[in-house]
Amino acid sequence: MSNNQIHYNDAPIEQREVKAWFHGERFLGFDEHGARMITSNIRPCKIDECSNDVSDWIYCDQCEEQKAIQKYLNAEKRDVYPNDVIYSEKTDHFFYPEQFSELTSENRETLESLRLYICKPCFPGEIDIDEHLTDVLAEDSYADEVLSNECMDLVEKLNAALRKNKPISYFPSNIAVNLDPLLIGEIPCDK
C-alpha cells in the first residue's frame, strides 16, 4: 500500500459532541443567526444605528431610501441623448423621449429627488435553431443537416429582422442623468 492510502480501520477520525439549534424537534443547523431567521418574521433593520424592525426586507423603508439617495449621488452621470429612455427610481416611472419636456420644466431639487437613471435598451434575441431543436435532434446532428433549405432561409431572415428590430424593453442602468442640460430653461423662482 502506498503512503497516501488510508485504510478504513485507520481512518483519522474522532468523535465529538456538537451543539445545534432546534425548533422543537426540527433541526435548524449550527448557525444561531440562520436559525433565528428561519423561525422569525420580524427582525431588526440591518443598519446598526436604526431601531426600526422589518418584516420582508433587510433594511427598513427609511434606510432603504437613504441608501438609494447615496447611490444616486455617487453614481456616474451623463447627458441625455435624444433616443434615451429615463427611469425615475423614486416614482418607478419610465420617461420616454417624447416626455422629456415634462422633465425640463422641473427645478433641480425636484429633478434630483426623482433619482433619474439612463436606461439600457434590450433587443430581441436571435433564434439559435440548434438550441431550439436540441430535445429532438439526434446526437451529433445539426439543424442545417436535417431542415429544408426553406426552413434555414426563413430562420436566417427572421434573425436578420430581429437584429434590425427596435428595442423591446428598457432596464435602468447604474448611470444617472446629468441634470444640468435639462435645467437650461429653468424658470427662476420669485425671491
Contacts with Zn ion by CB under 5 A lie at 45, 47, 50, 52, 60, 63
* Rounded Cα–Cα distance for residues 96 and 84 (Å): 7
Which C-beta is closer to Zn ion: that of 54 or that of 80? 54
Q: How far is the CB of 69 from Zn ion (least distance, A)?
A: 14
Provide the 3-class DSSP secondary structure of residue 151. helix
Nearest to 90 by CA among 109, 64, 116: 116
Which C-beta is closer to Zn ion: that of 63 or that of 119? 63
Which C-beta is closer to Zn ion: that of 63 or that of 116? 63
Q: How far is the CB of 58 from Zn ion (least distance, A)?
A: 9
Q: How far is the CB of 45 from Zn ion (least distance, A)?
A: 3
* 80 in Cβ contact with 118 (< 8 Å): yes
* 12 in Cβ contact with 6 (< 8 Å): yes
* Rounded Cα–Cα distance for residues 10 and 179 (Å): 72
* 50 in Cβ contact with 82 (< 8 Å): no
Q: How far is the CB of 72 from Zn ion (least distance, A)?
A: 18
Which C-beta is closer to Zn ion: that of 31 or that of 65? 65
